[in-house]
Amino acid sequence: MDNTRSTKGGGGGGGLMAWNVFKFCTWLRCLGSIMIIIVLCLVGVTYYVVVVANYGPTLLLHGSITAFLILFLFHALLAMVLWSYFSVVFTDPGHVPLNWTPKFDEEKGSDDHADLLPESAVDGGQTQHCKIRYCRKCNHFKPPRCHHCSVCGRCILKMDHHCIWVVNCVGAFNYKYFLLFVLYTFFGTTLVTVSLLPYFLIFFTDEEISGSATTIILSFVTFVLNLAFAISLLGFMILHIILVIANTTTVEGFEKKSTPKWHYDLGWKKNFEQVSNPLP
């Protein structure tokens, strides 16, 4: 039954469940492009507040060693953040080669043929009895640990999630850059939060605040935003480190609940090595 027919059927719960909400996912691509602009704007505002408005003048006028160290660390982390960010954006996460077909079931060590696949494998699911899977949307087989992304419109190797911040899926070949991006951004936002803390606390004292109104407001907002990002990224970073240690992904985290033993876990050291070099 197609989605249009299901939507018109009576307004019951079944019709709503059958309605394909993911047909609007392509709009997320446009949103993702906007998010890249937002990211660059946040970086630009933060750079202005830290370097141009506060610590740059402090270094030039007073020769402060603290200002020099903060500016040095800030620029180093900023360079790493931008490098890892655009590496995630422009690196293909990994896709299924055209006309790829499985040669055998690696779990069973026996040959399997497409005409023997049960219906549960054809709808994109994976059962304990069938390891070879087929994607109805892409109309081709998909290897283990591969999932279809409704936003990208294709199957992604070792898909973790689709990230609108980078207009890309996070998969086998760009997960390393994504993890580095989260790590560097956490350290960068933490540095900005700590360095702007004195300028934030002065709002709650009787001291006169120097500088233009625009600079004062931007310093306050930048501190709050970087503090919020640092706190949220800390939890996000811990989550993904746990996933790497177990050699799993966000998507597979739900599948593991029904799997007694996760056979992709090679030990934490080899799991980290696999993130760095996903090719066998």
In percent, the amount of the chain with pLDDT more than 90 equals: 34
User: Which of 77-85's residues contact partners 24+ apart within 8 Å by CB, and which partners?
Assistant: 77/184, 77/187, 77/188, 77/191, 78/43, 78/47, 78/188, 80/180, 80/184, 81/43, 81/181, 81/184, 81/185, 81/188, 82/43, 84/177, 84/178, 84/180, 84/181, 84/184, 85/39, 85/166, 85/181, 85/185
Give dist(CA 138, CA 211) in Å, integer.
58
> Which range is least confidently modeled, 57-61, 192-196, 272-276?
272-276
Q: Residue 87: pLDDT band by 50, 70, 90 thresholds?
A: very high
Average pLDDT over residues 191-196: 96
Does the pLDDT value for residue 159 go beyond 80? yes
- 169 carries an active-site annotation: no
Q: Residue 29: pLDDT band by 50, 70, 90 thresholds?
A: low
Which residue has tokens 């930048």? 222
> Which range is least confidently modeled, 37-41, 49-53, 114-118, 193-197?
114-118
Q: List CB contacts of 229: < 8 A, sequence separation 6 or more.
A: 185, 189
**Inter-residue contact 160 to 152 (CB < 8 Å):** no
Does the pLDDT value for residue 27 go beyond 80? no
Q: Which residue of the set 146, 152, 155, 163 is catalytic?
A: 163
Residue 48, pLDDT score: 95
DSSP-derived secondary structure for 108-127? TTB---GGG--HHHHTT---
Q: Residue 68: pLDDT band by 50, 70, 90 thresholds?
A: very high
Residue 200, pLDDT score: 87
Does the pLDDT value for residue 100 go beyond 90? no
Q: Comparing 221 with 203, which gets the higher pLDDT?
A: 221
- How do the residues of the chain divide into helix, strand and coil, expressed in percent and rounded to 5? 60, 10, 30
Average pLDDT over residues 253-272: 72
Cα separations in angstroms, 239 against 130, 158, 209, 229, 243: 30, 17, 40, 15, 6
Q: How many CB atoms lie within 10 A of CB 193?
A: 20
Helix 65-90 to helix 27-47 angle (10° resolution) is 170
Q: Residue 64: pLDDT band by 50, 70, 90 thresholds?
A: confident
Average pLDDT over residues 162-188: 91
Residue 107, pLDDT score: 46
Q: How many CB atoms lie within 10 A of CB 277?
A: 8
Q: What does DSSP assign to residue 237?
A: H
Residue 26, pLDDT score: 55
